[in-house]
Each structure stands twice: as C-alpha cells, then as structure tokens.
Amino acid sequence: MFLDQWIMILAYYAGLIVGVFAFVHALSQRADAYTAAERLTKPAWLGITGGGTFALLLFSLNSAGAMFWLAGLVAVLVYLVDVRPRLIEVQRGPRW
C-alpha cells in the first residue's frame, strides 16, 4: 500500500473514533444543560452527532460519498468545538 492509502485509512478510523466519542458525550450529558448553554436541545444534538457518526461509518474519503463523510465530520467537530465546552462550563460553573 502507498502512503496516501494509509493516510486515508487513518483519517477514516480517526474520524470514526471522534464521531463515536462525540455521540457518547452528547448522550451522557443532562438535557437541561443544553438549554442552559443556549444551544439546541439534547435530542437535536443526538441526531446531529448520531447522523454524523453514521455518515463517517458508511462513507469514506476515497469513495463517491466523500462529501457526506466530510459533512459528518464537520457536524461532529462542531459539537466538540462549540457545544461540548459550553456544556462543561455550564455544568461545572465558573472557575473562580
């Protein structure tokens, strides 16, 4: 196998692991924390992260569905970068 194939395989599995982590994290948070953080509801984020993870599982970067794989990755990363820190902040309280 060539280096580019190894990179594609690594990206596929890394994306899948990130997607599963985001879905499990969204599942384990309290429902009222989402509204307190002024984000979408828990069922909405479960649908977004679950759908994103399903797209990451179903498609790959080197297939015709690469656009869906990228869309799933973006959805999962938006949760991890935007929603997850706000949920942690709301549930933990101020650091002072």
Q: 87, 34 in Cβ contact below 8 A?
A: yes
**pLDDT confidence tier of residue 93, bands split at 50, 70 and 90:** confident
* Separation between Cα atoms, residue 63 and residue 77, nearest integer Å: 21
* Separation between Cα atoms, residue 84 and residue 91, nearest integer Å: 11
Count the Cβ atoms, other than its own, within 10 Å of residue 18: 18
CA dist 70 → 6, 36, 87 (Å): 18, 30, 25
Look up the pTM and report it: 0.89
For residue 96, the model assigns a pLDDT of 66
Write out the two tokens for 20. Answer: 């599963």
Enter the DSSP assignment of 79: I
For residue 61, the model assigns a pLDDT of 85
* Separation between Cα atoms, residue 57 and residue 73, nearest integer Å: 10
* Separation between Cα atoms, residue 11 and residue 70, nearest integer Å: 11
